[in-house]
Every structure is written in C-alpha cells, then in structure tokens.
Chains A and B, each alone.
Chain A
Amino acid sequence: MSYNYIELITLILLVIGCFFILSGSLGLIKLPDVFSRIHAAGLIDTLGSGFIVLALIIYSGFSLLSLKLLLIPIFLIFTSPVTGHAIALFAHESGHKPKGKNKK
C-alpha cells in the first residue's frame, strides 16, 4: 500500500465534505419547518460543496483547471444566499410561522 500525500489529503477532505452533505440531507428531513430546513440546505451549499471542490483542486494540482474549479464556490457564495433568502421571504409572506421544538 503506497499512498502519496496528495491522495491522502484529497481523501480526507472528500470524506469531510461528504459528512457535511450527509448531515445536511439528514437535517433536511429531520428539522421541523421550512425555515429550519433552509439552514440544512445552506450547510450542503457552503461547507459540503466547498470541501469537495477544495479536495478536487488539491488533487488536480495548480493549473487552469483548478482556477476553473475555484469559480464554482465563488459563484455558489453569490447565488446560494439569494435562493435561501427568496424561499424564506416567500414562506414568511405567505403566512408560515416558524415553530420551535418546545412550543410556546
């Protein structure tokens, strides 16, 4: 078994990214209402995709390809809050009330 360092780092980062995506998907099912589920989706958007793209950049080495890969999280940073905000605003305006686990 001969791993070199780059493959090992890539593997670790991929596992971390997959873990965040798994917890995001779990939260999407488990959390009680629309507003809380947006948090889980945001977890997938930022940390999940971020770690996986980071792993791919390290794996591919520094080239034009890695710069292109770097564009993916940059665009996600600009677009994902907009979608989250749009969903939250629409749910709020159409009368959804956020509910807690311990209801008041």
Chain B
Amino acid sequence: MAKPNKDSLKTLSFITYFIILFVFWFILSGYLKTLLLFFGVISVLFVFWMSYRAKALEEDSFPLKIILRLPFYWIWLFKEIFKSGITTTALIWNGKYSPQLITVKASQKNRTGIANYANAITLTPGTVTIEVDKKIFLVHALSKKLSEDLQTDDMNKVITDLDK
C-alpha cells in the first residue's frame, strides 16, 4: 500500500462518516422505497454539512484508525464493567466501602484518547473521574481494591494502544 497522503485520508474519513450516518438513518427508519431513500440521503447530507461546519471531521475528533479496533475495545470494556460492577454490588450489600480519592496519570497523546480514558473510568462502576488536569485525573473510588485495580494501569495501556 502506498503511503496515504493527507487528502486521501480526509476523503476516506468523509466516506466513512457518510456511511455511518446513512446506516444510522436506515436503522431508525427501516424504509426501502426509492423516494424515501432519496429523502434519507438528503437529510444525511444536511447533517454531514452541519458536522463539517462544526469541524467535527478533523483528524483529532474523528480518528479513522480507531474505528476498526472499536468493537474489540467495547467487548473488553463490557468485561471490565461487569467485573467492577459485581465488586460494587457486593460493596453496596455488605457495606464495607471506604471511599477515597486517588490521582491517575494518562499517557494518551491526543485529546480524544484522554476523553476516552476519562469516560472509561467513569463507566466502570465504582470509579468516577472528578477532574481532568492536562494528563492527571482526580478519581474517586469506592474502595481500596477498586482504586488498586485502576492503579495497575491496564486500562490506560489498552486505550493508549487503541490509537497506534
């Protein structure tokens, strides 16, 4: 494969975004008539134009390389959510919680990665990102075990690898 230059990458991300929007439109409507499909294309184009104006299609906010790895990442994330969810449920029922604040360092390079990491921390039950200061997060954890799980840095590594 030849080295992709900037313009072709941009075109590729436009096409991907258009396909995503159209599939989304089709899932929500389910129409197969030609006229309605045409209206669908028009509305998708309108949304596309708005996102282009809002600069939502830049390399930084719509990273193309992540998309193929996203399903695997989500499966991993569901596993993580389930594990810490069971821990949190047990903590609620037996009352042995000891809330604490910890700081976590993020090693992602761009802003999308950092937002991704902060969201992943908040999504797993038992840990909430309170404040993001450049690359250091202030995290509230429900128990010592949950905060130690976070400090092993596994989640950080997975999300950093997502953007390679």
Chain A interface residues toward B at CB < 8 A: 19-20, 23-24, 26-27, 30-33, 35-36, 38-40, 42-43, 46-47, 50, 64, 67-68, 71, 77-78, 80-82, 84-85, 88-89, 92, 98-102
Q: Binary interface profile of B, 115-159, with partner A (CB < 8 Å = 1, else 0)?
A: 000111011011111110000001010100000000000000000
Interface stretch of the complex, out of B45-53, B59-67, B97-105 = B97-105
Q: Which residues of B contact A (CB under 8 A)?
A: 27-28, 30, 74, 78, 81-82, 85, 88-89, 92-93, 95, 97-101, 118-120, 122-123, 125-131, 138, 140, 142
Q: Which residues in B have their C-beta under 8 angstroms from that of A40?
A: 88, 92
Neighbouring B residues of A26 by C-beta, 8 Å: 92-93
Complex formed: what's the CA distance from A55 to B63 in Å? 33
**Residues on A with beta carbons closer than 8 Å to the beta carbon of B131:** 89, 92
The reply to whether B82 and A39 form a contact with Cβ atoms under 8 Å apart is no
A42 touches B123 (CB 8 A): yes
Kindly state the separation between the CA atoms of A60 and B121 in the bound complex, as whole angstroms: 32
